[in-house]
Each structure stands twice: as C-alpha cells, then as structure tokens.
Amino acid sequence: MEQTNADTSKETRSPETDLALIRAMMQAGRKRIGVDGILLVVWGVMLTLGFTAQYIVIMSQYPHMILEIWIPVYVVGFLLSYLVEKRNPRTPTENNLALKVYAMTWKASGISIAVYFFLSLLSDTFDPMIITILTTVCFGSSFFVISVITGLQKLKFVAAGWWLLTALFSIFNTIGPETLLILSAASIFLLLIPGYFLRRMLSVEA
C-alpha cells in the first residue's frame, strides 16, 4: 500500500506543477533581492570608503593603518545591515529552499572574507593578494548564484565583472596602491549600483 501511495504521489507531480513551484520561488527571490539591494548599497558605500581611506593612508605621510580603518567599516556595515534586516523581516512566503541557499551564499562569502582578514592580521600572516582574490571570487560567486535563483540574468554580468578582476589580479600577480582604487571603483560599479537598481526593482513591483 505504501508503495502504491508513493507511486501515486510521483504521478501527481506534473511538469506544470514543478514549473509553477519554480516560478513561485523565483518571484519570492525577486522580492527578497529587492530588499537585499539595500544591503548591497550599504556595503558598496562602506567598502568604497574603506578602500579609498586605505589608499590615502598608503600614499600619504599618515601612520600605516589597517585595523583602524577596517574595524569601523565592518562594525558600521554590520550594524546598518542589522537595522535593514530588522525593518524588512522575512515573510513565510520567502522561507523556501532557494532563498535559504541565496541567503547562505552571501553569509558564507562575508564570513570567509572576514575570518581570513582578521585572523591573518592578528597572526601577522596577512597577504593582500589572498584577500583581494578571495573577495573578488566570493562576490562573483554570490552574484552568479542569485542570478540563477531569481532569474535576473543581468546579474551574471556583475558576477563576470568580479571574476574578471580575479583573473587580472591572478595573471599580473601583483598588488599595489592602485589596486585599492580599482577595488574602490568595483565597489561602486559592481556592488553599490547593482544594489541601487535591485532596490528600484522592488519599488516598481511593490
């Protein structure tokens, strides 16, 4: 009897049903990514400020500072992210597997970068090349995943932009002060601006 019920359940799953489920998940994803566009704007601004400040310090007579710049960047960034999340809590319709994967992708990227950054500084093993490539790879991968989940194909161009930076830094195998300006520009054009347009998409669809 159990086998019969299982077979019946499988038979009721038509391609149309699967397609409707996928569309519902993508629609929820579009709504959520509009909210999360605010977070991309927040981090785009914070990272732009951080990279620019780091460049100014290196090119000037100021004492060499890393933690003094990046601890405030991370603290303010995470605080603002918390406030955004608190004002835009997830609804039950957004708690599907695809969106959980999407959310975990961004969290995994952020945690990976932060863990290496702070632990390597504390243990005096910090390598600018590693943190640069790690950042570009993580951001590129995250944008690629959410483009697939939400069906927003244009985000794949953003992912490609981050991966292009990965390739350039890997090929030239050198990190200089100008790299900070490149990353600052990338934070604007490949993080802040995409986040702004995703936020606008939410306003239009609301």
Weakest-pLDDT range from 3-12, 32-41, 52-61, 92-101 = 3-12
Weakest-pLDDT range from 45-49, 138-142, 195-199 = 195-199
Weakest-pLDDT range from 8-17, 92-101, 165-174, 186-195 = 8-17
Structure confidence at residue 152 (pLDDT): 81
Q: Which long-range contacts (CB under 8 A, 24 or more apart) does 134-137 make?
A: 135/183, 136/162, 136/163, 136/165, 136/166, 136/169, 136/186, 137/162, 137/163, 137/166
Confidence of residue 12 (pLDDT cuts 50, 70, 90): low
Q: How many Å apart are CA 72 and CA 78, to the nearest integer?
A: 10
Structure tokens at 53: 């400040």
Q: How many Å apart are CA 166 and CA 154, to the nearest integer?
A: 19
Structure confidence at residue 99 (pLDDT): 67
